[in-house]
Amino acid sequence: MKEEMCDIGSLIRDESLTTHYQPIISIKKNSIIGFEALSRGITPAGETIAPGDLFSLASKHGLSLDLDRLCRKKALAGFRGLELADNEYILSVNIDPVALEEGRGSGNLEGMVLQHAIQPGRLLIEVTKSNACSLESLDAFVKHYRDKGYLIALDDVGAGFSSLERISIIRPDVLKIDCALTARINSGHHSRETIRALVSLAHKTGSLVIAEGVETEEHVLAALELGVDMLQGYYFSRPVKDASSIIGDVGEKIVSIAKISKNNIVKKINMRKTQHKQYSQIVNDFVAELSKVEEDKLDETLKELVKRYPLLECAYVLDANGIQSSSTVFSGERLSGPQDFFFQPAQKGADQSSKDYYFLVASGLLKYTTGPYISLASRHICITISVAFRDLRYGKKILCLDIVQEENPPPSARV
């Protein structure tokens, strides 16, 4: 917005801010967990100033700390005054990194919390992305407030300066996945796996995950499938002044989406069962044929077999020591591109003994199926099913079948 439309100093002195609250949802608990306080500026003409513009103006005039404190003051006062049953919700507030650096040790936030009789354990402090605050200051801030019982969140994870280093330093109670990542959650394998990895990292380090920016039913279902703990976004509610006014409507949406999610999970489980039955039949067909031929006929037999099953990427056979006994036989033309230096199919005689699909079966497991991964043979997203069998001379062999799982990069050439 144009700077002349807003005197940021006067806006702060006159406390011309309004606070809206957006619900944070837990489908597992079938409830609203809390609300994030979001501040908007109000010009003398009654126009609304977005948070980004507001803090940009404040930063330009050296008033970041003053604006940050006013936002918190309004958020805490408004939250305390809401007519919510028992008001046992968490309030999530943002701390501007510049304000964090400048206001360190002032006790301002603690004083406000005490004034409004809000329990520290009900306040989630969101540390926002920035390079303005040193890691030392950030670490000291987090330790101080965590020791006093406050909850800590790292905001905008997956964007800007929100790095893995900050996660290791802050050790947050909550990671908030950035809206931009959530918006792309259904755009393909890589987007989903990025979020899945962040969720896994959070859970392994003791954090819960909120996906911000869920706007559609598809966003919600995908986030839940990937293990996200809580959700926030327009699908449930836009930020509103009176949080109590949306409790009923949001509750109905929670019940509805929980039912859809359960049905979706059951449907996918049944699809996987059908899929694995199909995979088992393919494996059995391969083993039945391969167990009848001499080793010098493996390639020829594999070529005939892979033609029957279009969903196969490729097939190959290992010996008891993990050495490849056959060529890597593709079901069709192998796609190639500029990354072929890294992605090449293994040749007969290659040592595959370090691969998990070899040593787990070699150790006594009858059959093993990997999770989806990038195949070094083709650069496609695939799984590998490996199974032990006996060849014509009763020697131990391991059949490996690569099965394409997701969309793949467009080819630049065919070979």
303, two tokens = 């070529």
Helix (H) or strand (E) holding 18: strand 17-26
Please state, in angstroms and rounded to a whole number, the distance separating the CA atoms of residues 195 and 177: 8
Q: Do 31 and 145 sit in the same domain of this protein?
A: yes
Question: Contact 176/212 with Cβ under 8 angstroms?
Answer: yes
Number of compact structural domains in the chain:
2
- CATH code where residue 125 lies: 3.20.20.450
Of the candidates 80, 92, 88, 79, which has an alpha carbon nearest to the alpha carbon of residue 174? 92
Mean pLDDT of the chain: 87
Q: Do 221 and 307 sit in the same domain of this protein?
A: no
Please state, in angstroms and rounded to a whole number, the distance separating the CA atoms of residues 257 and 260: 5
Q: What is the tens place of the pLDDT at every residue in 190-239?
A: 889 899 999 999 999 999 999 999 999 999 999 999 999 999 999 999 99
Q: Do 319 and 224 sit in the same domain of this protein?
A: no
Q: Do 210 and 354 sit in the same domain of this protein?
A: no
Beta strands 31-42 and 90-95, pairing class: parallel
Q: What does the pLDDT average to over 348-362?
A: 90
Write down the H helix ranges in 61-188: 64-81, 97-102, 108-115, 135-147, 164-170, 179-183
- Position 291 scores a pLDDT of 96
139, two tokens = 């670490």
Within 8 A by CB and 6+ apart from 352, the residues are 318, 322, 323, 324, 346, 358, 400
Cβ atoms < 10 Å from Cβ of 219: 22
Q: Do 300 and 225 sit in the same domain of this protein?
A: no
221, two tokens = 């279902």
Quick check: is 206 in a domain?
yes
Q: Do 236 and 300 sit in the same domain of this protein?
A: no
Quick check: is 256 in a domain?
no
Q: Do 298 and 220 sit in the same domain of this protein?
A: no
Q: How confident is the model at residue 159 (pLDDT cuts 50, 70, 90)?
A: confident
Would you say the C-alpha torsion 365, 370, 376, 377 has a positive or negative sign?
Answer: positive
Would you say the C-alpha torsion 313, 301, 278, 310 has a positive or negative sign?
Answer: positive
Cβ atoms < 10 Å from Cβ of 315: 27
Quick check: is 122 in a domain?
yes
Quick check: is 286 in a domain?
no
Q: Do 330 and 399 sit in the same domain of this protein?
A: yes
Within 8 A by CB and 6+ apart from 310, the residues are 331, 332
Read off the amino acid at residue 85. A
Q: Do 200 and 341 sit in the same domain of this protein?
A: no
Of the candidates 353, 300, 297, which has an alpha carbon nearest to the alpha carbon of residue 324? 353
Helix, strand, coil abundance in the chain, percent, nearest 5: 40, 25, 35
Q: What is the tens place of the pLDDT at every residue in 285-326?
A: 999 999 999 999 999 999 999 999 988 999 999 999 999 999
Q: Do 159 and 70 sit in the same domain of this protein?
A: yes
- CATH code where residue 355 lies: 3.30.450.20
Q: Which of 226, 241, 256 is the last residue of a domain?
A: 241
Q: Do 228 and 307 sit in the same domain of this protein?
A: no
Quick check: is 261 in a domain?
no
Q: What is the tens place of the pLDDT at every residue in 93-150?
A: 998 776 666 656 678 888 999 888 889 999 999 987 665 577 788 888 889 899 999 9
Question: Contact 121/151 with Cβ under 8 angstroms?
Answer: yes
- Position 230 scores a pLDDT of 98
Q: Which of 179, 211, 241 is the last residue of a domain?
A: 241
Q: Helix, strand or coil for residue 272?
A: helix
Please state, in angstroms and rounded to a whole number, the distance separating the CA atoms of residues 10 and 18: 15
- Position 86 scores a pLDDT of 61
Range of the domain at 357: 294-414
Cβ atoms < 10 Å from Cβ of 399: 24
Please state, in angstroms and rounded to a whole number, the distance separating the CA atoms of residues 405 and 399: 19
DSSP conformation class of 378: T
Cβ atoms < 10 Å from Cβ of 395: 12
Beta strands in 293-348 (DSSP E): 312-319, 329-330, 335-336
Q: Which of 241, 260, 286 is the last residue of a domain?
A: 241
Q: Do 46 and 146 sit in the same domain of this protein?
A: yes
DSSP conformation class of 351: B
